[in-house]
Every structure is written in C-alpha cells, then in structure tokens.
Chains A and B, each alone.
Chain A
C-alpha cells in the first residue's frame, strides 16, 4: 500500500551550483545577492548546491551555519554541499547541510536528511498567453515553452526555460532557454524585438545585420552564435 503513496527515484535534476571562491560568508553573501538582484524572478526559491572544490583547505575557515543562513536569507533553498575535505564534513552536517557526492556521480544526498525541496511542476510544460504582453509586463515560465497568441510590446519581457513562440509582432525582449537549454528557439510572426537571447547568449536586434526585421523569423543557437532565419 505504502508503495503507492511514495516512490523514491534516482533522478537527474538541473540545479544551480554556487561555486565558492572565498570562505568569507559576508563576501559570498554580497556576491550572491548581486547575482540574484540582476534577475530576481529567476532565483526566487531556487534550489542551490554549494560546491567547495575551489576552496581546498580554506574550507576549515568556512562558517557552515552562517553560509546556510545567508543562502536562505537571500531566498534560495540550500539543497546540499559537495567537495569539502573530510575534516569539515561533521561541521557541515551539524549545520544542517546534506552531503552531496562529488560531481560525475549521481547527485543524490548521501545523508539521511531529505533535502528534496525542489519546486514541484505539475507536468505543465507550456504557458499560453492569450492577451498582448504590454510594455512593463513580464512573462516568466521556467518549466517550458511560452506561446503568445498576440503581440508583445516594446518594453516587455518574455523569459522561458524552453522555446518562445509569438504569433504576432515580437517587439520586446525575449529570453529563451534561461536555464541553459541551448536547443531552445524563438519563433515569431514579425521580428521587431529589442533583444533576443538563448541560453544566456544575447544580441540586440539593432546590432544584427539582417533583412528579416519585420518578417516571420526564427532564432536559434549554433555553437555560441545566434542565428536568424526566415521561417517560410
């Protein structure tokens, strides 16, 4: 019976990793806050794994308790910590950290404390917007594709974990593959965007030499270069 209620699976999940370069928690906090404030919507309640591989012995001076508090304070969910010297492990566990095995192995917490606080997606993989996306509005959907049935205005922002489809004029900013999906694409009926980005590679449309402005077009990533081509 209980088998129906819960099921434990070993699964790979995409999680942000905080690479520590200093054992000074105040500095780490400052750096993390800057990153968060640059794209606040992206990081709200976002799970975070801390990696100490670049710290080496400096790990001894790391205050695990304070680090955990700083991360929680900034709105992240600390999932676990990895690559710390054996001498520090006990300290980290006492501070409530889950030990993660070093990378290249399955990223499942080793200690008993369950750290599964990742956002649950109810299987929805597409967000359909039926009204125009106006100046100053932002559509954020990290779990998949965004489809806009009308136009998007100058001064609007579309942020999708997957691809973005706009069945009208695309005039604002559009960022696809915000979690690093390099296969994400942008499709639109009329390309008039201010900025296009895929997996962090962005271009201002004004900088791009293309005669496709105002035309139905598709944007995708080839290597690290954004390509634009007509759709028909």
Chain B
C-alpha cells in the first residue's frame, strides 16, 4: 500500500522543494520505491534540484490530461535507484490540476507498486497547495524559525484538518514538523525563534531540524539532493529526518551553538 506524503508550508522559500528532493532520495536509498511529484505547475523547480531538467519530455499535466502515460512521464533519477520524478509543467497554470486527474495519477502510482509518493506542494493556500495535500496520508510541514513562516504553517495545519480527503472521511492526516534553515547562533542572539517557541505555537510533533547550511545552495546549484552530501550537516540532518519518518528513534542534532575548539578560535 502506498503512503502519500505532502511536503508543505504555506510560505514560499522555506525549503519545501529541497526537502522533497532530500526526503524522496532518502526513502529510495533505503530501498523503497518512491515517486516525487512537483505540484508547482507554472514554476517548476523540483527537476532542477533533482538535476533532471534536461530529461523532461512529458509532465504531470500531460498525464492528468491523458496526453501521456505515467510511464512516459516519470523520470528515473540518475543518482538513486527506485526513485522517480514526475515534473510539473512550466507552460500551464494550477487550474490544470483537477481533483479527479490528480486522483487518477495517485491511483496509477499505487497500481505501479510505489511505496511512497512525495508531493512537493507550491507555496500559498490556493489550488496547487490544496491539490498537493488533498490525497495525503502524512504531511511534513516545513517551517523556518521566523514568525511569518510559523504563522503560515499554522494556517496550513488548519487546512490539513479540513481540506483533505482524510478529513472529509472523518480521519486525520498525520502531521510532522520539520524546521529548516535553523541557525543556533542566531537563535542564541535572539534574532530567530527558538525550537521550543515554534513547538509551543504549532503543537505538532517535531520530526527534524535542518541547520542553515552553505551545502544546501551548492547542492541545489549542482542538481544533487543535499542528502547525498554525507559530509554536510544539512545532509546528515535530512538523513536523520528520513530515519525518524521510517520509525527509528534518532536524537536531534544541530540544536546547540557549536563550541569552537582552541585552534579554530585562533585561526577562525
């Protein structure tokens, strides 16, 4: 049985696509057959982050409209086995996403034996975001440690409770909170909200904290999901997050200000 996971946030630029790419890669690395779908029709980015933009022939909207089969549109990821990308269309808008069409794609992926379907939601609370979350079993809510992002995530959590198929059937979408771009130094100096403050406001189980890191930008630019960079703190944090999602107990890291050693203090 496939598990559909939406990666959402409300606010833009908090790291949804980076997270979707890392998350899907992490699941696939562990042997799960995984599909990651870009719901940001008109502003497609996921293919860039996954480094497959030059291999896009057919896209999500083509499949919805019956102009291509799922098989034709799914792009096999070149880094990781078991991972397939369904890119968004760049020349259409979000109205092309119909509930019935999206439902058919989900059914198709289920029939193809995918273990996980990761839905990369666009920013906002309109059609694209609604369609991305509608069929979800789980939601990873991505939040940055600042007030507007936290407020928008709160709004999204409200919508998850009312605008999803699960909610309409009287159930609940499982909620997970992922804090990204966390900088312990700036939290300590009071520039950013601390983890405890965010949890206080949102009251959702924390599944991971990804530190602010240069490696994320480098990974995006080179089209390799950051989780593949085992030496970077962000890559390790994403790996921890995937393990927790799969049920392992992993302690949280990267929450404290790094203590500089004697040499580091001398030489910066």
Which residues of A pack against B, CB within 8 Å?
Answer: 131-137, 150-151, 153-156, 169, 171
Contact = CB atoms under 8 A, between A and B. Distances in A.
B174 interface: no
A137 B162 CA distance: 9
Nearest to B162: A137
B154 interface: yes
Contacts of A169: 200
Contacts of A136: 154-155, 158-159
A171 B203 CA distance: 13
B217 interface: no
B203 A151 contact: yes
A154 B151 contact: yes
B158 A135 contact: yes
A135 B203 contact: no
A136 B203 CA distance: 16
A135 B201 CA distance: 10
Query: DSSP majority for the B interface?
Result: helix
A150 B157 CA distance: 14
Interface centre among A135, A153, A156, A171 (most CB of B within 10 A): A135
Contacts of B161: 131, 134, 137
Nearest to B158: A134
A134 B201 CA distance: 10
Given A134-B155, A136-B159, A153-B201, 19 more contacts: A131-B161, A132-B157, A132-B203, A133-B158, A134-B154, A134-B157, A135-B151, A136-B155, A137-B158, A137-B161, A150-B203, A151-B203, A153-B151, A153-B154, A153-B158, A155-B151, A155-B155, A156-B158, A171-B201
Interface string B191-203: 0000000001101
B115 to A, nearest CB: 29
A31 B203 CA distance: 42
Interface of B: 151-152, 154-155, 157-159, 161-162, 200-201, 203
Query: DSSP majority for the A interface?
Result: loop
A134 B10 CA distance: 13
Interface centre among B154, B155, B157, B201 (most CB of A within 10 A): B154
Contacts of B200: 169
Nearest to A171: B201
Contacts of A151: 203
A21 B189 CA distance: 61
A151 B161 CA distance: 15
A135 to B, nearest CB: 4
A132 B155 CA distance: 11
Contacts of A150: 203
Contacts of A171: 201
30 contacts: A132-B157, A132-B203, A133-B158, A134-B154, A134-B155, A134-B157, A134-B161, A135-B151, A135-B152, A135-B154, A135-B155, A135-B158, A136-B154, A136-B155, A136-B159, A137-B158, A137-B161, A137-B162, A150-B203, A151-B203, A153-B151, A153-B154, A153-B158, A153-B201, A154-B154, A155-B151, A155-B154, A155-B155, A156-B158, A171-B201
The 10 closest A-B pairs by CB, nearest first: A134-B158, A135-B154, A137-B158, A135-B155, A136-B155, A153-B154, A134-B154, A134-B157, A136-B158, A132-B203
A179 B10 CA distance: 35
A155 B157 CA distance: 13
A131 B162 CA distance: 12
A135 B203 CA distance: 13
Nearest to B154: A135
Nearest to A136: B155
A156 B201 CA distance: 13
Contacts of A132: 157, 203
A85 B162 CA distance: 51
B177 to A, nearest CB: 13
Nearest to B151: A135
A171 B151 CA distance: 12
Nearest to A169: B200
Nearest to B157: A134
A125 B124 CA distance: 37
A153 B161 CA distance: 14
A154 to B, nearest CB: 6
A35 to B, nearest CB: 27
